[in-house]
Amino acid sequence: MLTDIMQAALNEQIKVEAESSQIYLAMASWAEVKGFEGIATFMFKQSDEERQHMLKLVKYVNQRGGYAVVSALDEPRLDYSSFGVLFRQLYEHEVKVSASINVLVDIALMQKDYATSNFLQWYVSEQIEEEAQAKVILDKIDLIGDSKGGLYMFDNDMKNFTSTGHNIVQ
């Protein structure tokens, strides 16, 4: 059984994951309209993945005797001035999500809710991957600089990347 404090914290994380899905979806739409097919494909996939993270939390809260709340979301506020700026925002967002997960783990431990702490370890590991993936992408963008040919190749790589999962971090 979840404590009220733990349930409220998990419900806040449900909102964070839903917002993450929306952010990736907004980025995907921008990329698609701008002709970045690979980046759009990657972002759509990431949006779906974030939604799955949200659903996993919803099911957990409900299975533990709580009530998962699906709350309203704000429209993502993003700077679309360049694909580099977009990916930097993505990285910063993933760092923020990692911090949010860490707060959840702290709450679970303070509440002596070891089942929830154990459940959350999957999210801790997932966020390590997400941050590393975003950092590798940023490093590649820095290598490209202003090269149009480099951007074309990067966009192509992003399209191919989506079919192989998290293998961008090698």
pLDDT band at 7 (very low <50, low <70, confident <90, very high): very high
12 among annotated binding-site residues = no
49 among annotated binding-site residues = no
Residue 119 has pLDDT above 60, yes or no: yes
Q: How confident is the model at residue 115, as a pLDDT?
A: 97
Above pLDDT 70, what percent of the chain? 95
93 among annotated binding-site residues = no
Q: Are 162 and 42 in contact (CB under 8 A)?
A: yes
89 among annotated binding-site residues = no
Q: What is the DSSP string of 82-118?
A: -HHHHHHHHHHHHHHHHHHHHHHHHHHHHTT-HHHHH
Residue 113 has pLDDT above 70, yes or no: yes
Mean pLDDT score, 28-54: 96
Q: How confident is the model at residue 167, as a pLDDT?
A: 37
DSSP state, residue 81: S
pLDDT in tens, 132-153: 999 999 999 999 988 888 888 9
Phi-psi region at 145: left, alpha or beta (left = phi > 0; alpha = psi -120 to 50): left
Q: How far apart are CA 143 and CA 88, in angstroms?
A: 14
Q: How confident is the model at residue 163, as a pLDDT?
A: 41
Domains contained in the chain, CATH given: 4-70+80-162 (1.20.1260.10)
46 among annotated binding-site residues = no
